[in-house]
Copies of this chain bind each other. A is one copy, B any other.
Amino acid sequence: MYTYEEFSKLINQYISEQKYARSPQSLYDPIVYDLSLGGKRVRPILMLMAANLYKKEIHTFLSTAFAMEICHNFTLLHDDLMDQSERRRGKPTVYKKWSANAAILSGDAMLVLAYKYLAMTKSEKKNEIFDVFSDAILEVCEGQQFDMDYEHRDDVSEEEYITMIRLKTSVLLAASLKIGALLGGASAKDASALYNFGIQIGLSFQLMDDYLDVYGDPQVFGKNLGGDILCNKKTYLLIKALEMADADTKLQLIGWINRDVFVNTEKIIAVTELYNKIGVKEFCLEKMKEYYNNGLQYLEKVSLPAEQKCELKNLSERLLNRNM
């Protein structure tokens, strides 16, 4: 069994060796830039870990693992353009550094590259792997669309929100685990349990993201607090607050949402105080724990001795605690 650090080294080494760039440079430069921005490589590592549960030798799966990472970066690249996000991993995003058109076209080429690496997969389950992969990307697109649609609505329910983050965040983590399991030769039951483990861990991960934006330690979190509050992002905290607030508190919250002119720190402090008054902090922590424990229960269902599954368990813990 490899450790997290070994997996990380393996996939980063593999990525750095790949020669996929052709001509014109103007198409491939943004792709090389984007794929060398780093990141935690969570999806390929989850895939390799799942495969490694069943197979000792996992080097032949690196192309498939890279396909998961390219695919993830493709979705971020297009999302950053759609959301007009100017920075990613401390660097300017592709659309900011080059142009919107570069982001569109280089992103498209990345998705094709992901399929080309996926096509290198050697497995008798290749057809099923392709289906899991395509379904996951389609669901990420659906999640991103829900997210954009919800921007214009003030009545998004908790259920709708969970559906959205499941599609946008969880599904690709889950698909990575399932594809790894299929590559390793897991039973259908194990592959499905690992998929569901990924779904639940992804949900708790996203709720933690929402939580840390308001209640995190900026030193640890790596970015300023309150970013979601300032742009009225529909997070679990906001949705739950709108649902649970009494009439008067709700009016105050909506007042802040609709205000065009404000001092940033004042809005952050005021909305955080409303959150505290309504008590959504505890709800969010509770829900996070619930999904995390659901995830562990699915992991337990995987028919292998607990000690073999500890790397996956550790990784999900580190993911949740942002300790990586």
A residues contacting B by CB (< 8 A) are 22-24, 26-27, 78, 81-82, 100-101, 104-105, 107-109, 111-113, 115-116, 119, 127, 130-131, 134-135, 137-138, 141-142, 144-146, 148-149
Contacts and interface: CB of A to CB of B under 8 A. Distances in A.
Contacts of A27: 141-142, 145
Contacts of A101: 82, 148
22 contacts: A22-B138, A22-B142, A23-B142, A27-B141, A27-B142, A78-B105, A82-B101, A100-B100, A105-B141, A105-B144, A107-B108, A108-B108, A108-B111, A109-B138, A109-B141, A111-B112, A112-B134, A112-B141, A113-B138, A115-B115, A116-B135, A119-B131
Nearest to A74: B108
Contacts of A144: 105
Contact of A108 (B22, B78, B149): B78
Given A26-B148, A119-B130, A119-B131, 13 more contacts: A26-B145, A27-B145, A78-B105, A78-B108, A82-B105, A104-B104, A107-B108, A109-B142, A111-B112, A112-B137, A116-B131, A116-B138, A119-B127
Contact of A81 (B104, B109, B138, B149): B104
A115 B146 CA distance: 23
Contact of A115 (B107, B113, B134, B141): B134
A35 to B, nearest CB: 16
Nearest to A111: B111
Given A81-B104, A104-B82, A105-B141, A149 B26 contact: yes
Contacts of A81: 104
B142 A24 contact: yes
Contacts of A100: 100
A84 B264 CA distance: 36
